[in-house]
Amino acid sequence: MKKLRIKTVSRLHFGLIDLNGSLGRIDGGIGLALNYPNTILEATPETKDIIIETESQEDDIREIIEKVIKNLNIDVGVKIKVRELIPPHVGLGSKTQLSLAIASLISRLYIDNILTPEKLAKITKRGGTSGIGINIFYQGGFILDGGHSFGESKDKEAILPSSASNAPPALPLLRYEVPPDWYFVITIPNAGKHVNGINEVNIFKKYCPISEEEVGKFARLVLMKILPSIMLKDINSFGEGLTKLQKIGFKKHEVDLQPALIKDIMKFYLDNGAYGSGISSFGSVTYGLVQGSGNAKRLKKKTEDFINKHEGGTVFITNPNNSGSTIYEFS
Span 267-323, pLDDT tens digits: 999 999 999 999 999 999 999 999 999 999 999 999 999 999 999 999 999 999 999
More confident residue, 199 or 36: 36
- The stretch 246-256 carries a mean pLDDT of 98
Terminus-to-terminus CA distance in the chain, angstroms? 9
209 class by beta-carbon count within 10 Å (0-12 exposed, 13-18 middle, 19+ buried): middle
| For the chain, percent of residues with pLDDT exceeding 70 | 99
- The stretch 238-250 carries a mean pLDDT of 99
What's the DSSP call for residue 328? Answer: E
What distance in Å separates the CA atoms of residue 209 and residue 197, rounded to the nearest whole number? 19
3-class DSSP string for 90-155: CCCCHHHHHHHHHHHHHHHHHCCCCCCHHHHHHHHCCCCCCCHHHHHHHHCCEEEECCEEECCCCC
* pLDDT the model gives residue 241: 99
Residues 147-178, buried b or exposed e (16+ Cβ, 10 A)? bbbbeeeebbeebbbbbbbebbbbbbeebebb
Q: Are 289 and 242 in contact (CB under 8 A)?
A: yes
- The stretch 7-18 carries a mean pLDDT of 98
- The stretch 213-235 carries a mean pLDDT of 99
What distance in Å separates the CA atoms of residue 83 and residue 221, rounded to the nearest whole number? 39
What distance in Å separates the CA atoms of residue 46 and residue 67, rounded to the nearest whole number? 16
* pLDDT the model gives residue 290: 99
- Kindly report the average pLDDT of the chain as a whole number: 95
Asked whether the bond before 284 is cis by omega within 30 degrees of 0, the reply is yes
- The stretch 236-263 carries a mean pLDDT of 98
Q: Please report the domains of the chain, with CATH numbers, ordered by start residue.
A: 4-176+322-329 (3.30.230.10), 182-318 (3.30.70.890)
* pLDDT the model gives residue 169: 84
Residues 120-133 have pLDDT tens digits of 878 887 877 888 99
pLDDT above 90 for 116: no
What distance in Å separates the CA atoms of residue 226 and residue 317, rounded to the nearest whole number? 22
What's the DSSP call for residue 4? Answer: E
User: Model-level pTM?
Assistant: 0.96
Helix (H) or strand (E) holding 171: none
* pLDDT the model gives residue 210: 98
* pLDDT the model gives residue 122: 80
pLDDT above 80 for 148: yes
* pLDDT the model gives residue 1: 75
What distance in Å separates the CA atoms of residue 196 and residue 163, rounded to the nearest whole number? 8
CA dihedral sign of residues 33, 35, 37, 39? positive
- The stretch 254-268 carries a mean pLDDT of 97
What distance in Å separates the CA atoms of residue 169 and residue 90, rounded to the nearest whole number? 22
β-strand partners of 32: 12, 142
Tell me the DSSP string of 191-225: TPPP--THHHHHHHHHH-SPPHHHHHHHHHHIIII
* pLDDT the model gives residue 130: 86
pLDDT above 80 for 43: yes
Give residues with Cβ within 8 angstroms of 113, minimum separation 6: 107
- The stretch 78-102 carries a mean pLDDT of 97
More confident residue, 123 or 82: 82
* pLDDT the model gives residue 114: 65
| For the chain, percent of residues with pLDDT exceeding 90 | 85
Closest residue by Cα to residue 225 from 239, 211, 204: 239
